[in-house]
């Protein structure tokens, strides 16, 4: 079983290989401020209503937020719903900006 968290570097490698889908659970204003190209906006409050309709339980999912707290909560919930390959991006988009892509705005 996968760890509940994935490092920004490991997530970036999966993204480059097109082996993962990024789900951004931040609020719309946060997504508009800074985002990882190709990530799917799905605010945390919408996940329960949208997950089973829009996400594939067999797909590798990296859940992200600002610092990794909301995304961890969502990843744990998704795992409980049968999405066994859901992981939280450790440190969130803030860590992504610091460690992977400094072009992603810090806020």
pLDDT (average), residues 81-93? 98
Could you confirm whether 95 is annotated as catalytic?
no
Residues 68 and 53: their CA atoms lie apart, in Å, by: 24
| Contact residues for 106 (Cβ-Cβ < 8 A; gap 6+) | 34, 94, 97, 98
Q: Show the domains of the chain with their CATH numbers.
A: 5-99 (3.40.250.10)
18-57 tens-digit pLDDT: 999 999 999 999 999 999 999 999 999 999 999 999 999 9
pTM for the structure as a whole: 0.96
Catalytic residue (one of 12, 63, 65, 75): 65
In the prediction, which pLDDT does 88 show?
98
């Amino acid at each position: 079983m996968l760890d509940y968290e994935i490092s920004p570097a490991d997530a970036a490698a999966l993204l480059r290989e097109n082996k993962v889908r990024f789900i951004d659970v931040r609020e719309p204003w946060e997504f508009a401020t800074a985002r990882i190209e190709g990530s799917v906006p799905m605010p945390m409050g919408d996940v329960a209503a949208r997950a089973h309709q829009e996400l594939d339980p067999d797909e590798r999912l990296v859940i992200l937020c600002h610092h990794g707290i909301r995304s961890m909560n969502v990843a744990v919930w998704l795992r409980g719903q049968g999405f066994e390959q859901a992981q939280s991006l450790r440190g969130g988009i803030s860590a992504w900006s610091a460690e992977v892509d400094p072009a992603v705005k810090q806020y």
